[in-house]
Chains A and B, each alone.
Chain A
Amino acid sequence: MAKITYHAHDKKTQTIDVQNGLTVMEGAIQNDIPGIDADCGGGMACATCHVYVKEEWLDKLPVKEDGEEDMLDMAFEPKSNSRLSCQLIVTDELDGLEVNIPSKQG
């Protein structure tokens, strides 16, 4: 279990307990957090679960698999701290993770 904090674009912030094994994307979808669309359902095929990860967390996250960076090329306003939240699998180590949700997904 990890507490994940989602900062929406409209400055609303929600902190959710997300079960280990779920993804940061699933944590958002199950709790109706706006701004994460996840159109493809977690297949790393659409870039609509794009989030900006708080800098200090970047090194602690699972490394990008082949294809994630390719998909991020398609994301709305990608930055150096961009990740696809469907690729971030929650573990105890991610307790306290904070992500910012972009203003749009496409």
Chain B
Amino acid sequence: MNKTDVLIIGAGPTGLFCAHQLGIIGLSCEIVDNLDKAGGQCIELYPDKPIYDIPAVPECTGEELTNNLLQQIKPFKIKFHLNERVEKLKKVDNRWHVKTSGGADFDVAAIIIAGGVGSFEPRKFPLKDCEKFEGNSLFYSIKDKSIFKNKTISIFGGGDSALDWAIELSNFSKVNLIHRRDGFSGAEASVEKVKELNDHGKLNLYTKFQMDSVIGDKHIELVKIKHDEGNIKEIKSDYVLGFFGLIMQLGPILDWGLNIDKKTVQVNTENFETNVQGIFAIGDICSYPGKLKLILSGFHEGALAARGCFKYAKPDEKLRFEFTTTSKAAQERLGIKK
């Protein structure tokens, strides 16, 4: 069991800066995020796009912002639990016990949800029939590529993941790559490579095709794909892989008894606590009259929520308001040597 003062859900800019604010006032925290890296939407959706409205930073990219925030919280040596999604929540006396998808356990005084628009999950095939094969012969990510050896794999998608895996698996599997149009969003070099493999018969490329149906008993045996013009092709397949990027979903948080309205969690504006005591929500995921979905609002909300956690983490102490310019305690926590 990981025992800490506060659990932050979401490692986007809001969650990261909130960790800083907790650190400054002497509270410990750990951060859980379903992605494999910190940064949230800034990293996943627009790492290279410039942002122009971070106070005192005239221009920076999503990636630069994330790296600067990580640098800023370095002194607090915060533990990250990436590739994990929070699942279960239980109140035990005055503490919260939280379990994640990866089996990590937390015992915390308070929880701050900084989950953006939800956790990033793979986008799935629209076909309902695909669900029954998911995890056995249909996948949205690859954990163990050795299972594909000498098998026939049908890969759907036109981005880097689809192209990279098509190239990689063509070394030891029979690969079909199916994409809805002639153009690809993946890297030009990968597109060239895929076309070359196709020309040499090392891979079968089907463009302007989309999935029509999957057929099989326990395992997938056949996929039918449909051309833009309507004709249908049958391809024998042992495995199907879909790479359609990520979508954001609220997930298990929906079952936590929070007041939720249109994918957002209602909070007060005094300390951004939800209707459940000890659970706070900040950033894009929270809503209140006048809410602005800006990163700078997330910073403000995080600063107040961090202070809101204090009474749960240290019920016998009183929080002092201090400035980092003059507070000895804050500077010690930041590791500043004078």
Seen from chain A, the residues whose Cβ lies within 8 Å of a Cβ on chain B are 37, 39-41, 43, 45-48, 69-70, 73-74, 76-78, 80, 104-106
| Chain B 103-123 near chain A by CB (<8 Å), digits 1 or 0 | 000000000000001100001
Question: Roughly how many angstroms separate A45 CA and B42 CA in the complex, as a whole number?
Answer: 11
Interface 1/0 per residue, B252-273 and A, CB below 8 Å: 0000000000010000000000
Query: 1/0 per position for B154-185, CB-CB distance to A under 8 A?
Result: 00011100000000000000000001110101
CB atoms of A39 and B117 under 8 A apart: yes
Structural contact, B183 and A69, CB atoms closer than 8 A: yes
- Residues of B contacting A: mostly: loop
**Number of residue pairs across A and B with beta carbons under 8 Å?**
52
Residues of B in contact with A (beta carbons under 8 Å apart): 41, 45-46, 49, 117-118, 123-124, 126, 157-159, 179-181, 183, 185, 210, 228, 244-245, 247-249, 263, 293
B159 in complex: contacting residue of A43, A70, A80, A104, CB < 8 Å: A70
Using CB atoms, name the residue of chain B closest to A102. B126
Q: How far is the CA of A106 from the CA of B123 in the complex (A)?
A: 6
Partner of B158, one of A39, A47, A73, A80: A73
> Binding site of A, secondary structure by majority: helix, strand, loop or mixed?
loop
A to B CB contacts below 8 Å, 20 in the list:
A37-B263, A39-B118, A39-B247, A39-B248, A40-B117, A41-B293, A45-B45, A46-B45, A48-B247, A69-B181, A69-B183, A70-B183, A70-B185, A73-B158, A74-B123, A74-B159, A74-B244, A76-B126, A78-B210, A105-B247
- In the assembled complex, the Cα of A69 lies from the Cα of B182 at a distance in Å of 11
Given the known A-B contacts A40-B41, A76-B126, are A45 and B183 also in contact in the complex, defined by CB atoms under 8 Å? Answer: no
Do A46 and B248 contact each other (CB < 8 Å), given the known contacts A69-B183, A73-B185?
yes
- Closest residue of chain B to A80 (Cβ to Cβ) is B228
Using Cβ atoms and an 8 Å threshold, which residues of chain A touch B123? 74, 76, 106
CA distance A41 to B53 in the complex (A): 15
* A45 with B46: CB separation less than 8 A: yes
Chain B residues with CB under 8 Å of A77's CB are: 126
B158 cross-chain contacts in A, Cβ below 8 A? 70, 73
Known: A45-B41, A69-B181, A70-B183. 6 other contacts (CB 8 A): A37-B263, A39-B247, A39-B248, A45-B46, A70-B158, A73-B159
Q: CB < 8 Å: which of B49, B126, B157 contacts A73? A: B157
A49 → B minimal CB distance (Å): 13
Q: Are A73 and B181 in contact (CB under 8 A)?
A: yes
A70-B159, A73-B159, A80-B228 known; A43-B180 Cβ under 8 A: no
A73 adjacent to B244 (CB under 8 Å) = yes
The 10 closest A-B pairs by CB, nearest first: A70-B185, A106-B247, A45-B45, A74-B245, A39-B117, A77-B126, A73-B158, A74-B244, A39-B248, A106-B123
Which residues of chain B are within 8 angstroms of A46 by Cβ–Cβ distance?
45, 247-248
CA gap between A18 and B45 in the complex, in Å = 28
Q: Name B293's closest neighbour in chain A (CB-CB).
A: A41
Rounded to whole angstroms, the CA-CA distance of A40 and B41 in the bound complex is 8
Chain A residue with the shortest CB-CB distance to B208:
A80
